[in-house]
Amino acid sequence: MYNILRLPTVKDRTGLSRSTIYLRISEGTFPKPISLGSRAVGWIESEINEWLEQRIESSRVGK
């Protein structure tokens, strides 16, 4: 079972703006959303959590 996060929750959890999220998706540095319907997308919670953990770990290297 997957928990799906909508954009406002992803923005709150990551601290990123909508435009930054979509920029990083296009760069391949942020998890891609999944389609929930013709005009709705969401992100898999575990993928967002993993991305956050990677960011935390990379910011702690050498400290």
For residue 25, what pLDDT is reported? Answer: 98
**Any idea which residue has 């959890």 for tokens?**
13
62 to each of 24, 51, 57, 58, 59, how far by Cα in Å? 25, 20, 10, 9, 8
- Give pLDDT tens digits along the chain (63 positions): 999 999 999 999 999 999 999 999 999 999 999 999 999 999 999 999 999 999 999 998 865
Cβ neighbors of 47 (< 8 A, separation 6 or more) are: 31
The structure's pTM equals 0.91
58 to each of 5, 11, 18, 51, 54, how far by Cα in Å? 24, 20, 23, 11, 6
In the chain the domains, ranked by start, together with CATH numbers, are: 4-60 (1.10.238)
For residue 61, what pLDDT is reported? Answer: 81
